[in-house]
Amino acid sequence: MRIKKPAQAGRRDTSDLLVEVEPIEGNGIEIVLESSVKRLFGERIKEVAEGTIKRLGYEGVRCKIIDDGALDYVIQARIEAALMRATED
Amino acid sequence: MKERLRRTRLYIPGNNPHFFEGLDLFGADQIIIDLEDAVPVEEKDATRILLKYALKNIKWNKFELTVRINPLSTPFGEKDLEIVVPGAPDGIYIPKAEKADDIIAVERIVERIRKESGIEKTIWIFPIIETARGVMNAYEIASSSHLVAGIAFGAEDFTADIGTKRTKEGKESFVARSLIVMAAKAASVAALDTVWSDVEDVDGLIESTKESKMLGFDGRGIIHPSQVEPVHNVFAPTKEEIEQALQIIEAMEEARKKGLGVIALGRKMIDAPVLARAKRIIEIAKLMGLI
């Protein structure tokens, strides 16, 4: 499945994150991460983000994440919301 | 459980995951994750998804977990139920309930999704009455479904509906609150009073909660964890009430052994309603760990 337009979800706030997705050419998934806990958890956040996008069946997505210590379930929720918004007409 | 302690119901905005993490620490009897007034229209979709993941991933166990959905008359209400019910909360709050059909419509959707999702637990329904029409139909609402475990009052919308404003004394809603208590008790469900919105005014909260208890309410709404303790203190039976209740129960037991239905304890006649009240006091005292 492909997204149709850029969209975002979430907030730059404690325990939350801002997710911005946009369509890119090809079938790849690019994750760009800014996080206050990047040094410790950067790889884990990217893994959760990419896993969520794939699980939901999307490809051709650039996903920028600005995170402030969100738990995995929040990352998954915000990515799903951004993708859903980016797919709507 | 249909009957349980519901002294406090703490409203938590549904779109802020930061609040979710500490819910078990607040000590409220019931938490309401709010999808309605606390969430702007443009965030309803993302909030619903956040809640779906929260219900699946967080194991809260120190309170009764409920969700306030949007009314079914909006484009959001049914979508809320599609997400919330599979997450198996303990209850659903229905805002702006005005007639039995409002509850029956929610009950049908809840039961359908519950069966489709293979959820065995009961999901209780708590209608919120916040209009003049709702107040006049309070009994019809309270007795509309076996899933209704309590009815709550919402003073802000109610006072706007009848064309007045809310005061701390609450005279403008006295009749409405009394009618809601009567309806709840007649239908054997909990009566839940409105929220106290001024977090700074603890004395006002205590006085208002004393009135709630006096009118017959079983609990009230709150909007901040600091309001839990003052409200629980008001609803706690006093030492004297507990002692008297124990004496009444003991005296009634003695009377029963002698084949008597009514007896006197001191200067007071003890009969079935007095015994029922005494038993209720002991039940609450036990639940609160006071005895």
The CA distance from B56 to the nearest CA of chain A, in Å, is: 9
Structure confidence at residue B92 (pLDDT)? 98
Tell me which of A76 and B252 has the higher pLDDT: A76
A6/B137 Cα distance (integer angstroms) = 48
> From its phi and psi, is residue A64 left (phi > 0), alpha (psi between -120 and 50) or beta?
beta
A-B contacts (CB, under 8 Å): 46
Residue A7 has pLDDT above 90, yes or no: yes
Query: A22 pLDDT exceeds 90?
Result: yes
pLDDT-based confidence at residue B4 (cuts at 50, 70, 90): confident
| B50 and chain A in contact, CB less than 8 A | yes
Q: What is the pLDDT of residue B290?
A: 87
Nearest to A16 among B18, B53, B56 (CB): B18
Q: Is the pLDDT of residue B274 over 80?
A: yes
Q: Which residue of B has its CA nearest to A10?
A: B46
- Calculate helix-pair angle for A38-55, A72-87, nearest 10 degrees: 50
Cβ pair B46:A9 closer than 8 A: yes
User: Nearest CA of chain B to the CA of A74: how many Å?
Assistant: 7
Predicted local distance difference test score (pLDDT) of residue B143? 98
**pLDDT of res. B163:** 96
pLDDT at A50 over 90: yes
**Mean pLDDT, residues B252-269:** 81
- Are the C-beta atoms of residues B94 and B71 closer than 8 Å to each other? yes
Work out the average pLDDT over B264-270. Answer: 79
* pLDDT of residue B148 exceeding 90: yes
CA distance A67 to chain B (A): 13
Strand pairing partners for B128?
B152
pLDDT at B258: 84
Q: How far apart are CA B149 and CA B279, in angstroms?
A: 20
What's the average model confidence in pLDDT over A32-44?
88
**Is A15's CB within 8 Å of B50's CB?**
no
Residues B169-228: tens digit of each pLDDT? 899 999 999 999 999 999 999 999 999 999 999 999 999 999 999 999 999 999 999 999
Reported as a single tens digit per residue, the pLDDT across B22-79 is 899 999 999 999 999 999 999 999 999 999 999 999 999 899 999 999 999 999 999 9
- Tell me which chain B residue has its CA closest to the CA of residue A68: B18
Average pLDDT value for chain A? 94
Query: Is pLDDT at B262 greater than 80 in this prediction?
Result: no
- Highest mean pLDDT: which of A85-89, B153-157, B164-168? B153-157
Q: Check residue B273 and give its pLDDT.
A: 83
Distance from CA of A30 to the nearest CA of B (A): 22
> Which of B45, B57, B58 is closest, CB to CB, to A81?
B45
Which tens digit of pLDDT belongs to each residue from B91-144? 999 999 999 999 999 999 999 999 999 999 999 999 999 999 999 999 999 999
Is the CB of residue B56 less than 8 Å away from at least one CB of chain A? Answer: yes
Determine the distance in angstroms separating the CA of B195 from the nearest CA of chain A, rounded to an integer. Answer: 27
Is this prediction's ipTM beyond 0.90? yes
CB contact under 8 A, A71 and B16: no
Q: Which residue of B has its CA nearest to A8?
A: B46
Kindly write down the DSSP assignment for every residue of chain B, as one continuous string.
--S---SEEEEEETT-HHHHTTGGGS--SEEEEESSTTS-GGGHHHHHHHHHHHHHH----SSEEEEEPPPTTSSSHHHHHHHHGGG--SEEEETT--SHHHHHHHHHHHHHHHHHTT--S--EEEEEE-SHHHHHTHHHHHTS-TTB-EEEE-HHHHHHHTT----SS-GGGHHHHHHHHHHHHHTT-EEEEEE---TT-HHHHHHHHHHHHHHT-SEEEESSGGGHHHHHHHHSPPHHHHHHHHHHHHHHHHHHHTT-S-EEETTEEE-HHHHHHHHHHHHHHHHTT--
Q: Which residue has the higher pLDDT, A77 or B275?
A: A77
Q: Which residue of B has its CA nearest to A14?
A: B18
| Cα(A75)–Cα(A66) distance, integer angstroms | 10
Which chain B residues contact residue A73 at CB under 8 A?
53-54, 56-58
